[in-house]
Amino acid sequence: MKASKTVMDFKDQIDINRLPEHIAIIMDGNGRWAKNQGKFRVFGHESGVLSVKDIVEGCVEIGVKYLTVYAFSTENWNRPIEEVNALMELLISTINQEAETLNKNNIKLNAIGDLKSLPQKCIDDLAAAMDKTKANTKCTLTLALSYSAKWEIVEAARKIAEQVKDGKLAINQVDEQLFASQLTTVNMPDPELMIRTSGEHRISNYLLWQMAYTELYFTETLWPDFRREHLYEAIVDYQKRERRFGKISEQLN
């Protein structure tokens, strides 16, 4: 009852007309959570899936249109091979289990990152799930997989350079809008709110270009303990902030 009351308390404080259209999350703390339970790290990752489900449902419940979660960074490939393999197996099983649920709830599945570096089974299952949910419109859930913001920016610069080299693009045509069109997030707005769990205060090579004006929210809560009441608390905090974009307060009134 207490948790339910907390959910309602924060949910009731949310101004539905001022929701962040796009929320990005760094899901941190699975390993530490498992260690605290006396379990292997993979147990934390498995428990973290439950948090993803609840947060997606929470976003749909109040009307958040885009949710992007940092599921696997390029740096994560440097983890012990056993953990990487377990993460890939968990990704495959979760995609297979949840694709139909996403469809029933009108949620579109998307993915960004160096997807070609994933195991072929992941690539195939991910492509199938994205195709199955591509017509859905209520919320877009994007998985950042084998993702690195620096990799993304370099890839965008390379694509632009190739177009200039081939004479398809003039140097003076290259501006912020054109550069953004070459990023993996071209079909979604920049995130207004970024949440990171577990008490770390870094953005860890995540959506560096897109988060130029994003409000950052850090919480001590470990990801497997993060639920929609925490999401709603973060949104309430976001709505108390003044987003000036270089202007002064008086110009916003």
User: Residue 227 is encoded by which pair of tokens?
Assistant: 């639920």
Q: Shortest CA distance to 60 belongs to which of 27, 95, 103?
A: 103
Q: Which residues are catalytic?
A: 28, 76
Strands 215-218 and 139-147: unpaired
Say how many CA atoms lie within 13 Å of 236 toward its Cβ. 15
Q: Shortest CA distance to 152 belongs to which of 113, 110, 179, 118?
A: 113
- Residue 5 CA to residue 1 CA, distance in Å, equals 6
User: Residue 101 is encoded by which pair of tokens?
Assistant: 């649920």
Q: Shortest CA distance to 27 belongs to which of 13, 48, 58?
A: 48
Partners of 215 in the β-ladder? 193
> Which helix H or strand E contains 72, and what residues bound it?
strand 66-73
Sign of the alpha-carbon dihedral angle for 68, 70, 74, 80: negative
Residues 60/139, Cβ–Cβ less than 8 Å: yes
Query: Nearest 5°: phi and psi at 111?
Result: -145, 145
